[in-house]
Amino acid sequence: MKIIENPNKSEWQEVLKRPTQTVDDIESLVIQIFNEVKIDGDSAIKKYTLKFDGISLESNLVTEKEINDAVSKVPVKLQNAIKKAKKNIEAFHLAQKTSKVYLETTNGVECWQEKRAIQKVGLYIPGGTAPLFSTVLMLAIPAQIAGCKDIILCSPPNKEKNLAPEILFAAKLCGVTKILKVGGIQAIAGLTFGTETIPKVYKIFGPGNQYVTVAKQLATKYGVAIDMPAGPSELLVVADDSANASYVASDLLSQAEHGIDSQVILVSTSKSLIAAVSEEIKSQLAILPRKDIAQRAIDNSKLILIEDDNIALELINEYGPEHFIICVKNEAFFVDGTCNAGSIFIGDYTPESAGDYASGTNHTLPTNGFSKAYSGVNLDSFLKSMTFQKISKEGLLNIGETIELMAEAEGLQAHKNAVSIRLKDLKK
C-alpha cells in the first residue's frame, strides 16, 4: 500500500481517487447489450451468457427441483448460521416500520401518508469469484417485510451451469418468487425490459461490478428505479495509537479480497501504527486464498498520515466511504462528526464483516462517494410513500379562496375554476 504523509487539501481529490473506469469507457457496451435485449429478449440473454460466462443454457429459469436439490447440499451448520443471520436482519428491518401519518391541517381538511410496497422488484446477486448469498438476505428480507408481490432474483451461473446452493437456499428461505441464471449487464437489461423468462420490474436492487453499476444507471432512462449506484466495494479505517494493528489490517484485507477494483484506505495520526499495519498486511495477505485478488486491490489502496483528528474528519467526509471503521480513543468525535458514510463500525470489536453478514444492518451501500447523497438499502427502499387528502364542505370553504388566489397568480385558470365551481354551489 502506498503511504502518503500529510497531503495538502489541493491534493485530496487525486489522493482519494477511486480505481474505477469512467462511465464513458463502459457505456457503449452497456447500450449495445441493452438494445439487443430490448429487441431479441432471451436470445440476446443467451448470447451474452455464452460470451461472458462461457456457458450455453437451455433455460434461464431455476426450477423447483434445482432449488430443493441445492438445499440438501448446504451443510446444516451453515444453514443454521444463515438462519441466525436472517433473524437479526429481519429484526432490525422490522423495527424500521413506521405508522400512518395523519393530520387535519385545517378544519375539514384531512391529510395522511401511508406506505405501500413496490409490487415488482429485481434483486441482482453478484456471482463471479465469490457468490454473495449474504446479499440475498440483505435484499430479499426487507422486500418480503415490505410486502413486495414479485421478488425476482438474477445471478450469474457458474461453469457447471448452476447457481451456488447457498444462494438458492437463502432465496427459498427469504421468499424470492422467481430465480434466474443471468448475470452482468444482460441481467439488468432483462429486468429493465422483460423477456420471455425474465419479468420486467419497477425497481432494481443489488451491488455489482462497474458494468452492472453503469447498467443500473442506464435502466433509469427506461423508467426503472434503482436502489443506488453501488459499485466496487470500499472501506476506510480511521485509527490511532490505541488501535490494534492486526485488527486494522484484517479489516482492510477483508474488503480488498472482494475484487481487484476494490479500494481500502487507512487514515491515521500515528506513523508507528501505519508502519505496523503495513507489516501486518504483508503477513496476513501471504496466507489468504484470494491473495492475488486482494494484492491487486491493495495496490490501489493507501495509508494516509494526517496531522490531527480535525483534518482527518474533513478528509473522511470528503471521501464519503461505503464502509467506515472507527478505532480511536476519541471515537465520539468521529461518530458525531461523520456526515458522509454508508455504514459505520465503531470500536476494536466491530469488524466490517459483522455488517456484511449477521449484525442486522444492511450491507448494500452507496460507493464511489455517493454516500454524500444516498442511503444504504433499508425497509423504505422497498416502499413508496403515498399521500391522501379528504376535504369536507367546511374544509373547502376554509381553503378555497387561498387556492383560487394562488392558481390565478400562476395563470392557471382551470385550476381556479375547479375550486370556484364548487364554492359557488356551497354558497347557494
Active-site residue 280, yes or no?
no
Domain 392-426, second-level architecture: Up-down Bundle (1.20)
Q: Are 392 and 104 in contact (CB under 8 A)?
A: no
**318 among annotated binding-site residues:** no
**Residue-by-residue pLDDT tens, the chain, 428 positions:** 899 999 999 999 999 998 865 677 789 999 999 999 999 999 999 999 999 999 999 999 999 999 999 999 999 999 999 999 999 999 999 999 999 999 999 999 999 999 999 999 999 999 866 789 999 999 999 999 999 999 999 999 999 999 999 999 999 999 999 999 999 999 999 999 999 999 999 999 998 888 998 999 999 999 999 999 877 889 999 999 999 999 999 999 999 998 888 999 999 999 999 999 999 999 999 999 999 999 999 998 899 999 999 999 999 999 999 999 999 999 999 999 999 999 999 999 999 999 999 999 999 999 999 999 999 999 999 999 999 999 999 999 999 999 999 999 999 999 999 999 999 999 88
- Residue of 155, 190, 150 whose CA lies nearest to 66: 155
**56 among annotated binding-site residues:** no
Domain 23-98+116-228 has CATH 3.30.365.10: no
| CB neighbours of residue 268 within 10 Å | 23
Which residue is associated with the grid cell 466491530? 350
Domains 2-20+232-360 and 392-426 share a fold: no
Domain assignments of the chain as residue spans, ordered by start: 2-20+232-360, 23-98+116-228, 392-426
Annotated active-site residue in 257, 322, 352, 363: 322
Helix (H) or strand (E) holding 175: none
Q: Which three cell numbers stand for residue 386?
A: 403515498
**93 among annotated binding-site residues:** no
- Helix, strand, coil % in the chain, rounded to nearest 5: 50, 15, 35
Which residue is associated with the grid cell 462497474? 210
State the Cα–Cα distance between residues 60 and 279, nearest whole angstrom: 47
- Residue of 233, 251, 78 whose CA lies nearest to 167: 78
> For position 12, what pLDDT does the model report?
96
> For position 129, what pLDDT does the model report?
66
Q: Are 206 and 364 in contact (CB under 8 A)?
A: yes
Give every CB contact of residue 331 below 8 A, 6+ residues apart in sequence: 346, 347
Which residue is associated with the grid cell 446452493? 165
- DSSP reduced 3-state for 310: helix
Helix (H) or strand (E) holding 414: helix 413-426
**410 among annotated binding-site residues:** yes
Active-site residue 5, yes or no?
no
Give every CB contact of residue 336 below 8 A, 6+ residues apart in sequence: none
**233 among annotated binding-site residues:** yes
**124 among annotated binding-site residues:** yes
Pick the CATH number of 2-20+232-360 from 3.40.50.300, 1.10.10.2840, 3.40.50.1980, 3.30.70.2500: 3.40.50.1980
Give every CB contact of residue 210 below 8 A, 6+ residues apart in sequence: 20, 21, 26, 231, 232, 261
Annotated active-site residue in 93, 280, 323, 352: 323
